[in-house]
């Protein structure tokens, strides 16, 4: 891990850490991105997390795919995803330049394929919808799909190519964010946050499990599925996902492949080192951290229908992550009500995709500097206002 400065306690009071402008609770991609972009603007920032990057980000496939993941009822989320995707090249360049770590960012698009007649009918409906709202997709025959990805099954009947989608290695992303944050002067408290400290109605810091307090002028809750433990009433729940990592030859696949197999969704995401990320289940099981034999079987079974050769690859890792879901699948980004308290959580399946726009928005709110935007809260982010669920109900 990069050498982030360990936050120090005040010499006069061993139960209190030095005061910071901003404390970010949560060291996933959302929290680290907010911390980095805020520290770059000159504020003193501390991240509170016992193991940065070990949550949903660690399990993530890192897809930046608002086009291929679009659904008929979530146009606000689509607009948000497209806006953040447009920010990714600059975000990547800044981060790689400041961290010295390449992110394995790839922009070869997503190939969304169909296996059976019903799957192809769904893809045709999806293509018509995407085109009706101005998205760029190409209809391909099965032969054309296999010309792009020769490892695809002969049974694949056709597909859609979304050239604007991209993907990134989320574990390299975390390493780079930690390094860039350290370079910007950020600090780390590698302990668990127990709750928030307050003076009357105002949030004044973070209370640790050890009893110590990290004092801060503002606190950003970016703890993913664990956010309600800090802010009771916050409508965020864990959605379990089991994901596999396979090891194969470099070039086994060249782009992200998504598919429907008799109605079941599957995806395979290649890395530059030959790793293939394969996923993922969607389970309303609370914080059930078990990897189950049934899930491993189903993931491999469905992937094999699309890419038969996957069963010959080494099974390198099985992982469970907890996506932070909200009732409308939009994140919670912005002030939470009590002075000094903001949210950057609830990103569900889009934490990596939405990192740039989330970080820029929250940094703007904290510093008063709109940065890349004309307004500290761009129009596309206003649907993410936590007040849509929690008008005046939350307290520190």
DSSP string covering 92-122, please?
Answer: HHHHHHHH------B-S-EEEEE-SHHHHHH
Q: How many CB atoms lie within 10 A of CB 82?
A: 18
Please state the rounded mean pLDDT for residues 10-36: 82
The span from the CA of 331 to the CA of 349, in Å, is 10
Please state the rounded mean pLDDT for residues 132-143: 95
Diameter of the chain measured on Cα atoms: 72
Please state the rounded mean pLDDT for residues 355-365: 96
The span from the CA of 223 to the CA of 307, in Å, is 36
The span from the CA of 296 to the CA of 318, in Å, is 8
The span from the CA of 262 to the CA of 326, in Å, is 28
What is the CA 302 to chain-centroid distance, rounded? 24
The span from the CA of 311 to the CA of 139, in Å, is 28
pLDDT in tens, 152-170: 999 999 999 999 999 999 9
pLDDT score of 63 more than 80: yes
Give the model's pLDDT for residue 2: 46
The span from the CA of 387 to the CA of 275, in Å, is 41
- The CA distances from residue 294 to 276, 291, 298, 301, 395, in Å, are 20, 9, 6, 10, 42
pLDDT score of 315 more than 80: yes
pLDDT score of 6 more than 90: no
How many residues are given for the chain? 396
pLDDT in tens, 112-131: 999 888 989 999 999 999 99
Q: What is the CATH number of domain 5-58+171-236+328-388?
A: 3.50.50.60
What is the CA 192 to chain-centroid distance, rounded? 21
Domain boundaries, the chain: 5-58+171-236+328-388, 110-163+237-325
pLDDT score of 103 more than 50: yes
Which alpha helices (DSSP H) does 7-67 contain, by range?
Answer: 29-39, 56-59
The span from the CA of 351 to the CA of 239, in Å, is 13
Query: For 4, which DSSP code?
Result: P
User: Are 249 and 339 spatial neighbours (Cβ–Cβ below 8 Å)?
Assistant: no
> Three-class SS of residue 291?
coil
Say which CATH class 110-163+237-325 falls into. Answer: alpha beta
Average per-residue pLDDT for the chain: 92
Query: For 329, which DSSP code?
Result: S
> Three-class SS of residue 334?
strand
Which alpha helices (DSSP H) does the chain contain, by range?
Answer: 29-39, 56-59, 75-99, 117-132, 142-148, 170-183, 293-306, 355-367
What is the CA 167 to chain-centroid distance, rounded? 11
Q: Of 81, 32, 15, which Cα lies nearest the Cα of 384?
A: 81
Topology agreement, domain 5-58+171-236+328-388 and domain 110-163+237-325:
no
pLDDT score of 262 more than 90: no
Give the model's pLDDT for residue 39: 98
């Amino acid at each position: 891990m990069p050498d982030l400065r360990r936050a120090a306690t005040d010499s006069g009071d061993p139960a209190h850490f030095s005061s910071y402008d901003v404390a970010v609770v949560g060291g996933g991609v959302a929290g680290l991105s907010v911390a980095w972009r805020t520290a770059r603007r000159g504020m003193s920032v501390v991240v509170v997390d016992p193991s940065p990057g070990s949550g949903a980000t660690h399990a993530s496939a890192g897809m930046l795919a608002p086009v291929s993941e679009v659904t008929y009822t979530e146009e606000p989320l689509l607009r948000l995803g497209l806006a953040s995707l447009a920010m990714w090249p600059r975000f990547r360049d800044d981060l790689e330049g400041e961290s010295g770590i390449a992110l394995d960012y790839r922009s070869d698009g997503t190939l969304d394929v169909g296996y059976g007649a019903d799957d192809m009918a769904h893809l045709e409906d999806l293509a018509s919808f995407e085109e009706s709202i101005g998205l760029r997709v190409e209809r391909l025959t099965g032969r054309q799909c296999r010309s792009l990805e020769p490892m695809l099954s002969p049974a694949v009947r056709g597909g859609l190519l979304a050239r604007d989608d991209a993907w990134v290695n989320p574990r390299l992303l975390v390493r780079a964010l930690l390094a860039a944050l350290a370079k910007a002067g950020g600090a780390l408290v590698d302990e668990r946050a127990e709750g928030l400290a307050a003076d009357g109605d105002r949030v004044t810091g973070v209370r640790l499990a050890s009893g110590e307090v990290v004092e801060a002028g503002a606190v950003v809750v970016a703890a993913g599925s664990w956010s309600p433990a800090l802010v009771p009433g916050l409508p965020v729940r864990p959605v379990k996902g089991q994901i596999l990592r396979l090891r194969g030859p470099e070039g086994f696949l060249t782009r992200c492949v998504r598919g429907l197999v008799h109605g079941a969704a599957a995806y395979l995401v290649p890395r530059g080192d030959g790793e293939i990320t394969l996923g993922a289940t969607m389970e309303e099981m609370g914080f059930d951290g078990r990897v189950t034999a049934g899930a491993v079987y189903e993931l491999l079974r469905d992937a094999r229908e699309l890419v038969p050769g996957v069963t010959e690859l080494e099974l390198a890792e099985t992982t469970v992550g907890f996506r932070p879901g909200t009732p409308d699948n939009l994140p919670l980004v912005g002030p939470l009500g009590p002075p000094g308290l903001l949210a950057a959580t609830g990103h569900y399946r889009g934490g990596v995709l939405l990192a740039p726009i989330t970080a820029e928005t929250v940094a703007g709110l904290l510093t008063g500097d709109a940065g890349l935007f004309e307004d500290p809260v761009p129009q596309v982010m206003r649907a993410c206002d936590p007040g849509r669920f929690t008008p005046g109900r939350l307290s520190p």
